Chain A
Amino acid sequence: MHRLTLAQIARGLAAKDFSAVELSDALLARIGQLDPQLNSFITVTAEQARSQAQAADARRAAGENGALLGAPIAHKDLFCTQGVLTTCGSKILHNFKAPYDATVVAKLAAAGAVSLGKLNMDEFAMGSANESSHFGAVKNPWDTSRVPGGSSGGSAAAVAAGLVPAATGTDTGGSIRQPAALTNLTGIKPTYGRVSRWGMIAYASSLDQGGPLARTAEDCALMLGAIAGFDPKDSTCVDAPVDDYLATLNQPLAGLRIGLPKEYFGTGLDSRIADAVLAVVEQLKKLGATVKDISLPNLQHAIPAYYVIAPAEASSNLSRFDGVRFGYRCENPVNLEDLYKRSRGEGFGAEVKRRIMVGTYALSAGYYDAYYLKAQKIRRLIKNDFVGAFGEVDVILGPTTPNLAWKLGEKNADPVSAYLEDIYTITANLAGIPGLSMPAGFVDGLPVGVQLLAPYFQEARLLNVAHQYQQVTDWHTRTPAGF
């Protein structure tokens, strides 16, 4: 039962092969049995899951038949869940029970999805390895001595291990796509503004976007269809119709123009990953796609620009965690400044403090033009690269990550080396375009991901290409031994 996709679950529930209660009970038992090896959940909401599953079964008995009605999911722990612990992977929110539901959470609940709990993550979504969580590192089910990627590492590990068929994640610089790549999943970061950020604890507001991680492109289409759309509570959410992502999954790829950016295949890329990615290209050609070499010349400038913009916005967003209204407060503060400084100093972990300080410095008097403004100008150059490329091709294809999942602890000593892992994913956030990662094979038993990028609001195209690829390959059906 734990290997079923969301689409298969919908059919099984409709055919009464099993009930939503039976399904969620089976997965809750698996979580209890297997998650100690992975640490992917911070909170398991068994009681709430049972009542949601009972309600879903009752709605089905009354004749309803929604695709997600009774489907088990779980949420990254930065989506606010009313009355349920919402920690963002941080000590500073270790006791924070959100007073309301995020729009994404509310939409999935309304569709009848059953939430099994809250998933581990890098603290405040700052990391690529899920090692910066206050609640401990998450292990990769493909090799538990390795990282699952981050920051949605709990989401990735739980779905890959068959603890839940799909999960929510967020992506500020690759935090859906990179862990999906390292755990053999499909994950999509939608266009900026496609999914409401309301109730999503902010990291970098001009880059953050929520989306699904699942085992197939079809399941991503199901989830994205449920969470996308306009929300008046998020002032940057876009008021535009949502495509029917399922309706276009089966469109043939004949005539699809794929661009291969030469900068994505340069130094720094593991050549075995390059080979796997080029094999995907060959397969897509057989499906009728044509391939063109393109250039995105500003790729190399993306990392420095990102590591100004994201920390600058984070330093502002995270100023709300002050020990006054919610979350962690230090013991016996002697005055207000001491309360702020010690609550924040004790409540935030090392990586979060580093980024707050980098951002504070970049925004401080006299440095704004040299850092934040300069980074925003580079951001436009990166956007212009994509606009130019999409004049010639329909999608851009390349590796999701330059390396395979690394060993736990391997990159902890040098944050800059970990930052460089984001090279292929952060440009989509800076430009605001959608990006998807899908399974592309294995090297030494570890998953490889291929990334597809498309113009604004063309999520349907990405899901269509991935689904067509998954009809003629079986990488995405492979599961890790022991799970």
Chain B
Amino acid sequence: MALERCEVEKIAHLARLGLNESDLPRTTETLNNILGLIDRMQAVDTTGVEPLAHPLEATQRLRADQVTETNHRDEYQAIAPAVENGLYLVPKVIE
């Protein structure tokens, strides 16, 4: 199943990736080549096979419900693109 250009635009939107108009034909072609490779999976008989999510089939470890994190706001905000009064700044969200 080959992706059309409009589907590639939709995927890019879902991933919040700005693509150049001029890149779209090439991107569409490359993605279709990759999906062609991936589609070879469909020929494999996996009837009755349980999916493997973790190589060691481990489950999430639990820990005591205690506060262990300390406050690093100043260090973290020192490397932010735009902050003011301890807040991260982004363009206006609500018109």
Query: Which A positions have Cβ atoms within 8 angstroms of B?
Result: 95-97, 99, 192-193, 206, 232, 235-236, 238-239, 298, 301, 303-305, 307-308, 315, 319, 322-329, 333-342, 344-346, 348, 353-354, 356-358, 360-362, 364, 370-371, 373-381, 383, 414-416, 419, 430-433, 456
Residues of B within 8 A of A (CB): 3, 8, 11-20, 27, 30-31, 33-42, 44, 46, 49-56, 58, 60-61, 63, 72, 75-76, 78-82, 88, 90-93
The answer, among B8, B31, B38, for a CB contact under 8 Å with A308, is B38
Instruction: Give the distance to chain B from A327, nearest Cβ to Cβ, in Å.
Output: 8
Task: Enumerate chain A residues within 8 angstroms of B14, measured Cβ to Cβ.
Answer: 360, 364
CA A327 to CA B80, docked complex, whole Å? 7
Task: Return B51 CB to nearest CB of chain A, in Å.
Answer: 3
Q: Is A206's CB under 8 angstroms from B53's CB?
A: yes
Q: Which 5 A-B pairs have the closest CB atoms?
A: A432-B55, A345-B18, A376-B51, A341-B18, A329-B81
A192 and B55 within 8 A (CB): yes
Q: Which residues of A contact B19 (CB under 8 A)?
A: 345, 353
Verify B58–A238 contact, CB threshold 8 A. Answer: yes
Q: Are A346 and B18 in contact (CB under 8 A)?
A: yes
* CB pair B42 A374 closer than 8 Å: yes
Q: A337-B16, A344-B17, A377-B50 are in contact. Are A301 and B44 (CB under 8 A)?
A: yes
A99 engages B91 (CB within 8 Å): no
A193-B31 contact, Cβ under 8 Å, with A379-B52, A381-B46: no
**A307–B90 CB distance below 8 A:** no
Once bound together, how far apart are the Cα atoms of A253 and B64, in whole Å?
46
Given A99-B75, A238-B56, A340-B16: A307 and B44 interface contact (C-beta under 8 Å) = no
Least Cβ distance of A384 to chain B in Å? 9
A326 CA to B53 CA, complexed, in Å: 30
Residues from chain B with Cβ under 8 Å of A356 in the complex: 15, 17
Q: A341-B16, A357-B31 are in contact. Are A335 and B37 (CB under 8 A)?
A: no
A301 to chain B, nearest CB (A): 5
When distances are taken between beta carbons in the complex, the residues of chain A under 8 Å from B60 are 235
A339 to B63, CA, bound (A): 37
CB of B3, distance to nearest CB on chain A (Å): 8
